[in-house]
């Protein structure tokens, strides 16, 4: 058995782990990354952000062609969506980005080990190869170990995920046939993005959600607007319904749910059921106990504000620790931990981590929601601008949605920006930039914005919030 020693050993190659590895390499630390799957990139690159955006883009084009081209004066008859080809294209995109991570590791002199990592003690990790047993088991020691093992889809205790008909997002991103009726348990980001994909291709899609809103953790205005848009696109919603059973009989999946308002149970029958009720932190097989690393009541590795676990020299980040389960949050933490190990004083501003839903219209938010400001009793002002009043949106025939800006009542500092509409996944970066510099709505209102752009809606909402008066409404 061989033994190697490192400054930093990273377990997991998702956006948290691989970005930490890049930064460690740049800082001159002798680094290795361990990944149990054959490809690097973790959930995000293999079965998450990237493949979902690839199929969202393909189906969005198809939807535009079938639903909007006529309005633009383009006749597009006999259009046909080819799901297997869309999936092949998605696979190529995934393989390109995963290869990119291998390139980054080599460029930054990071050793790559494929195998399942588990703790032997607080400074030693055992790696059992996952390539069919041909490789040699290794023991590695390190001054610092970063746990970046991410998350896995969770389910409800009474639902058995057979991964054929009762599926998670991973299988939903690899279907080779179009569901006739896709039932989705959970109205959060993943369920709505994947629901949109199949609804655009012609599947009947029914979403059953326990709470009284979709995307309930975002500003409530956004959920209401998105609900309206998605209903128009044909998705069916059952809010305030508690799912009590999901069973499979042959190629049929049956769901039962109890409405909070009382009355008869809802009974749905479909050919696929996507269970998207959240994700759980993943530490299976890591043998955390051997190192003495503690987890909290939700199974997340416990960390302090510096992302240190209770064991000196062991760090944790990304989906496996507290906070939003987002790729850019994991990456920001990856840079943070690498720089902390190198003795620097990095900072992550968790309030300014943006949240995006890639439905159409897109949804994005950053900072405090209106509900949070009310809860905290903070005095605020609100300004908004609808895309129906935007020249660019009218020219593009994408007039749904709005931008809402929340500011401190006394200083005009922007406290939250919440948007739904075309292209706002990119516009939210402007909000993050301004808020990072603690800018006021008036600052944005006085900045020149190219005309005509969707981004002007942010400026107009700021004009409205700062009391300067909208220029285009």
Q: How far is the CB of 44 from ligand FAD (least distance, A)?
A: 3
CB of 130 to ligand FAD, least distance (A): 8
Distance CA 201, CA 197 (A): 7
- On whether the CB atoms of residues 303 and 316 are closer than 8 A, the answer is yes
Angle between helices 15-26 and 83-107 (to 10 degrees): 30
Pick between residue 167 and residue 461 the one whose CB is nearest to ligand FAD: 167
Among 21, 24, 105, 117, binds ligand FAD (CB under 6 A): 117
Q: Does 186 bind ligand FAD (CB under 6 A)?
A: no
Does 138 participate in binding ligand FAD (rule CB under 6 A)? no
Q: Which one, 117 or 142, has the nearer CB to ligand FAD?
A: 117
Query: According to CB under 6 A, which one of 9, 15, 25, 138 is a site residue for ligand FAD?
Result: 15
Spatial distance between the Cα atoms of 156 and 437, rounded to a whole number of angstroms: 42
CA atoms of 424 and 375, how far apart (whole Å): 27
Neighbouring-strand partners of residue 279: 153
Q: What CA–CA distance (Å, rounded) separates 112 from 127? A: 12
Strand partners, 418: 365, 404
Nearest to 386 by CA among 191, 200, 228: 228
C-alpha 21/C-alpha 337 separation (Å) is: 10
By CB under 6 A, is residue 49 in contact with ligand FAD?
A: yes
Q: Is 44 in the site for ligand FAD (CB under 6 A)?
A: yes
Distance CA 19, CA 332 (A): 8
Question: Minimum distance between the CB of residue 248 and ligand FAD, rounded to whole angstroms?
Answer: 22
- Separation in Å, CA 278 to CA 252, 281, 342: 24, 10, 34
> Between 188 and 227, how does the x/- string for binding to ligand FAD read (CB under 6 A)?
--x-------------------------------------
Q: Does 183 bind ligand FAD (CB under 6 A)?
A: no
Find the shortest distance in angstroms from Cβ 16 to ligand FAD: 3
The interface region with ligand FAD, picked from 95-103, 143-151, 262-270, 396-404 by CB under 6 A, is 143-151
Bond into 108 cis (ω within 30): no
Catalytic pick from 63, 347, 449, 451? 451
Q: Say which DSSP state 302 is in.
A: P
- Please give the size of the binding site for ligand FAD, defined by CB under 6 A: 37
Residue 11 found at the interface with ligand FAD (CB under 6 A): yes
Q: Which of 94, 101, 123, 150 binds ligand FAD (CB under 6 A)?
A: 150
Q: Is the Cβ–Cβ distance between 396 and 450 less than 8 Å?
A: no
Is position 125 an interface residue for ligand FAD (rule: CB under 6 A)? no
Handedness of CA 301, 306, 310, 311 (dihedral sign): positive
Active site residue 449: no
CB of residue 379 to ligand FAD, shortest distance in Å: 32
Nearer to ligand FAD, 36 or 418 (CB): 36
Site for ligand FAD in 298-337 (CB under 6 A): 318-320, 325-328, 330
Rounded distance between C-alpha atoms, residue 104 and residue 34, angstroms: 15
What angle in degrees, to the nearest 10, is found between the helix axes of 189-201 and 49-67? 40
Give 19 or 444: the residue with its C-beta nearer to ligand FAD. 19
Q: How many residues does the chain have?
A: 473
Q: Give the list of residues 6+ apart from residue 82 with CB closer than 8 angstroms, or none.
A: none
CB of 354 to ligand FAD, least distance (A): 9
Nearer to ligand FAD by C-beta: 37 or 210?
A: 37
The residue among 13 and 196 lying less far from ligand FAD, judged by its C-beta, is 13
Instruction: Return the closest-CA partner of residue 125 out of 301, 273, 6, 274.
Output: 6
CA distance 407 to 318: 30
Out of 12, 188, 223, 416, point to the residue binding ligand FAD (CB under 6 A).
Answer: 12
Among 286, 422, 455, 465, binds ligand FAD (CB under 6 A): 286
Site string for ligand FAD, 342-381 (x = CB under 6 A): ----------------x-----------------------
Residue 352 CA to its chain's centroid (Å): 15
42 binds ligand FAD (CB under 6 A): yes
Rounded to whole angstroms, the Cα distance separating 59 from 4 reads: 47
Distance separating alpha carbons of residues 417 and 403, to the nearest angstrom: 7
User: Quick check: 37 binds ligand FAD (CB under 6 A)?
Assistant: yes
* Nearer to ligand FAD (CB atom), residue 192 or residue 408: 192
Q: Which residues bind ligand FAD (CB under 6 A)?
A: 11-17, 34-37, 42-44, 48-49, 52, 116-117, 148-151, 169, 190, 282, 285-286, 318-320, 325-328, 330, 358
**Any idea which residues carry the catalytic annotation?**
451
């Amino acid at each position: 058995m061989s033994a190697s020693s490192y400054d930093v050993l990273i377990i997991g190659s998702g956006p948290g782990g691989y970005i930490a590895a890049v930064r460690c390499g740049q800082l001159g630390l002798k680094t290795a990354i361990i990944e149990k799957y054959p490809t690097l990139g973790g959930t995000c690159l293999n079965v998450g952000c990237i493949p979902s955006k690839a199929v969202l883009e393909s189906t969005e084009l198809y939807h535009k062609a079938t639903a909007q081209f006529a309005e633009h004066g383009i006749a597009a008859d006999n259009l046909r969506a080819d799901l297997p080809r869309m999936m092949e294209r998605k696979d190529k995109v995934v393989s390109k980005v995963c290869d990119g991570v291998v390139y980054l590791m080599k460029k930054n002199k990071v050793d790559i080990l494929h195998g399942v990592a588990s703790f032997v003690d607080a400074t030693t990790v055992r790696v059992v190869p996952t390539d069919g047993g041909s490789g040699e088991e290794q023991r590695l020691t390190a001054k610092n170990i970063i746990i970046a093992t991410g998350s896995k889809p969770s389910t409800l205790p009474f639902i058995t995920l057979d991964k054929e008909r009762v599926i998670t997002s991973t299988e939903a991103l690899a279907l080779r046939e179009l569901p006739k009726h896709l039932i989705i348990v959970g109205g959060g980001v993943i369920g709505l993005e994947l629901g949109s994909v199949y609804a655009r291709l012609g599947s009947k899609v029914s979403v059953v959600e326990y709470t009284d809103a979709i995307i309930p953790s975002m500003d409530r205005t956004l959920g209401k607007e998105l609900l309206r848009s998605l209903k128009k696109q044909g998705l069916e919603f059952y809010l305030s319904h508690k799912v009590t059973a999901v069973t499979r009989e042959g190629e049929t999946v049956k769901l039962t749910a109890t409405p909070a308002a009382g009355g008869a149970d809802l009974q749905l029958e479909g050919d696929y059921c996507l269970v998207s009720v959240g994700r759980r932190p993943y530490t299976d097989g890591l043998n955390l106990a051997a190192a003495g690393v503690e987890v909290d009541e939700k199974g997340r590795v416990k960390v302090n504000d510096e992302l240190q676990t209770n064991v000196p020299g062991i760090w944790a980040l990304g989906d496996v620790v507290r906070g939003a389960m987002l790729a850019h949050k994991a990456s920001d933490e990856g840079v943070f931990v690498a720089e902390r190990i190198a003795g620097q004083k990095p900072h992550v501003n968790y309030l300014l981590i943006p949240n995006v839903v890639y439905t159409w219209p897109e949804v994005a938010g950053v900072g405090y929601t209106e509900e949070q400001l009310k809860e905290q009793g903070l005095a605020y002002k609100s300004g908004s601008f609808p895309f129906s009043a935007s020249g660019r949106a009218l020219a593009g025939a994408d007039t749904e949605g709005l931008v809402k800006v929340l500011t401190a009542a006394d200083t005009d500092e922007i406290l939250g920006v919440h948007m739904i509409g075309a292209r706002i996944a990119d516009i939210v970066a402007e909000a993050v930039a301004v808020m990072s510099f603690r800018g006021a709505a008036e600052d944005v209102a006085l900045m020149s914005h190219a005309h005509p752009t969707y981004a002007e809606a942010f400026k107009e909402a700021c004009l409205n919030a700062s009391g300067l008066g909208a220029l285009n409404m």
